[in-house]
Chains A and B, each alone.
Chain A
Amino acid sequence: MTDFEQRSIISGVGQSVIGRRLGRSGLDLTIEAALVAMADAGLTPADIDGLATYPGAGVGAGPGFSGPGTPEVQDALRLSLDWHAGGLEGPAQLSAVVNAVLAVGAGLARHVLVYRTVTESSEQGSGGRQGIGLGGGGGGRVPRMGGSMQWTIPFRAYSAANWLAMNAQRHFHEYGTTPEQLAMIAINARRNAALNPTAVYRDPMTLDDYFASRIVTTPFRLYDCDAPVDGSTALVVSAAEHGADVDHPVARVEAVGTALRGRPSWDQFDDMTTMAARDAAANLWARTDLKPADVDVAELYDGFSFLTMCWLEALGFCGVGESGPFIEGGHRIALDGELPVNTQGGQLSAGRLHGFGFIHEAVLQLRGEAGDRQVRTGPEVAAVANGGGPVAGALLLTRD
């Protein structure tokens, strides 16, 4: 008996143009990315029989967040589908990829197109990033807050920046983590982005530049927060046999990490310093014989810089509480370091493609197609992680 992960490959990847305020629709960008991914997989829309996205239309946190839903994309590409799914609830943005791997593994579909699209830069406009719960709708009145958000928004904790800043502050308190250590996530990302032609911020960043950036919510500065962009990422998850029919190496999902064992809450989760990353990562390592030391490149979510530190610990690249010393100076996580991290520039500098930029980059690195930022040692195993707070999902990818 083999694990379901072994029955599929990532046969193709693609991205649309990525940028600030492109002024193009999410559907337009999605089609562009999908056509690239399908061509890369040696497929046409007629071959696609599965479709998956995160989060689906019209849900989530603010303008430009959700991208088009699967019905719109199905119709735009005239897909004939045996299986389809979209949704916000699950192991972070990677839930769409996990669902696709499950569907192929179960025989429900043979070629699943998976996408994630954002138009946050255009739709947030010149007003910058918005807090949650302040949208007044047509009448200009702020709606009353129900559900889980009633426990944060009325206390003016309007953004995940506020919630996660408290996680970071607790980590600083328990482990002596410093702002200088935290800064290395942003500085490393910018260093890598300089080598990525599609990254939105490529000018060099020094430690002084970092400390000159304004404080958003302590300990996070502007450069600890990812950069809203417009763009779409697509990939094709195919039945493993299709690997013989593509003209390039392919990546395979070796193991998924989907667990959520603590309370699914931003402020009631048992350990603020690990968050749900702890559960997803433990689940991932229980599904493979590979070990953290086998990982050659790590693409770890950085919606806020601290989350990358959290994932470094959760995935076992350093001990719990030791991510500060691990990244200090930025050498270990550099492109030529022992564990290159966020090689495309992360969301901090390459742009907030909301999780999917990391899987796209991991696949390119495993295929040896990452251009000037290619890790020279020829990576064979990549870790991809998405999410923060009570939301977490992870994948271990290998080169097939």
Chain B
Amino acid sequence: MTGTPFRVQPALDDSNRFFWTSGEDGRLRFLRCQDCGYWLHPPVPRCPMCGGRDVAPEAVSGRGEVWSYTVNHQPWDGDPEPYAIVLVALPEQEGLRLTSNLVHCSPEETRIGMPVKVTFEQHDQVWFPLFEPA
């Protein structure tokens, strides 16, 4: 794939702005409970595990593995090039996952278990967290 594809933009608000702008410094962040250490995704104002209200964005390593994937061929947005949608499992917490795209490799090379690392694609004020082979 060459160039930057069309992307629907997220609607930024106070609950998600940290996530969508996190890539400005090259780091991927999720909310984390400052009391019990649980990672919260999607963001919510209170820790569902301990009830703590002290939750704050914290950087993760940016590494993960492909938990599952699909290679899309349907030109939903008009682009006929196949692309890989991946579900990335993050090592920081079991079950913490992010739907994203695998880039910088052929979609056909995508495999479950593949080690990947985050890379960002900037569109205006949003940094989309994508993944590439690690």
- Contact at A165–B70, with CB atoms within 8 Å? yes
- Contact at A166–B85, with CB atoms within 8 Å? yes
- Contact at A169–B112, with CB atoms within 8 Å? yes
B8 within 8 A of partner (CB): yes
- Contact at B10–A162, with CB atoms within 8 Å? no
Taking A154-B8, A156-B85 as given, write out 9 further A-B residue pairs in contact, using a Cβ cutoff of 8 Å, ordered by the A residue number: A156-B77, A156-B101, A162-B70, A166-B68, A169-B70, A169-B112, A217-B71, A268-B42, A268-B95
Instruction: Kindly provide the distance from the CB of B134 to the nearest chain A CB, expressed in whole angstroms.
Output: 19
In the complex, chain B residues whose CB is within 8 Å of the CB of A170: 67-68, 112
Q: Which of B1-27 contact A (CB under 8 A)?
A: 5, 7-13, 16
B34 within 8 A of partner (CB): no
Q: Please, could you name 20 A-B residue pairs with CB atoms under 8 Å apart, sorted by A?
A: A133-B8, A134-B8, A143-B11, A145-B8, A145-B9, A146-B13, A151-B42, A154-B8, A155-B99, A157-B99, A162-B72, A169-B70, A169-B112, A173-B112, A214-B73, A215-B73, A216-B72, A217-B72, A218-B70, A268-B97
Known: A157-B99, A159-B74, A217-B74. A166 touches B8 (CB 8 A): no
User: Which of B9, B12, B74 has the most CB atoms of chain A within a 10 A radius of its CB?
Assistant: B74
B69 within 8 A of partner (CB): yes
Known: A144-B8, A144-B9, A150-B10. A156 touches B72 (CB 8 A): yes
In the complex, chain A residues whose CB is within 8 Å of the CB of B42: 148, 151, 265, 268
A145 to B126 CA separation, bound complex (whole angstroms): 12
Taking beta carbons and an 8 Å cutoff, which residues of B are in contact with A?
5, 7-13, 16, 41-42, 67-74, 76-77, 83, 85, 87, 95, 97-101, 112, 126, 128, 130
Taking beta carbons and an 8 Å cutoff, which residues of A are in contact with B?
130-131, 133-134, 142-146, 148, 150-159, 161-163, 165-167, 169-170, 173, 214-220, 265-268, 270, 272
- Contact at A267–B8, with CB atoms within 8 Å? no
Closest 4 CB pairs of A and B: A131-B76, A165-B70, A144-B11, A146-B11
A201 to B116 CA separation, bound complex (whole angstroms): 42
- Contact at B8–A142, with CB atoms within 8 Å? yes
**Of B68, B83, B98, B99, which contacts A167 at CB under 8 A?**
B68
In the complex, chain A residues whose CB is within 8 Å of the CB of B67: 170, 272
**Of B9, B68, B77, which contacts A158 at CB under 8 A?**
B77
- Contact at A157–B85, with CB atoms within 8 Å? yes
In the complex, chain A residues whose CB is within 8 Å of the CB of B83: 156
**Of A142, A155, A214, A272, which contacts B68 at CB under 8 A?**
A272
- Contact at A154–B71, with CB atoms within 8 Å? no
**Of B7, B74, B98, which contacts A161 at CB under 8 A?**
B74
A134 to B75 CA separation, bound complex (whole angstroms): 12
A285 to B13 CA separation, bound complex (whole angstroms): 43
A270 to B83 CA separation, bound complex (whole angstroms): 25
**Of B12, B77, B112, which contacts A131 at CB under 8 A?**
B77
- Contact at A155–B9, with CB atoms within 8 Å? no
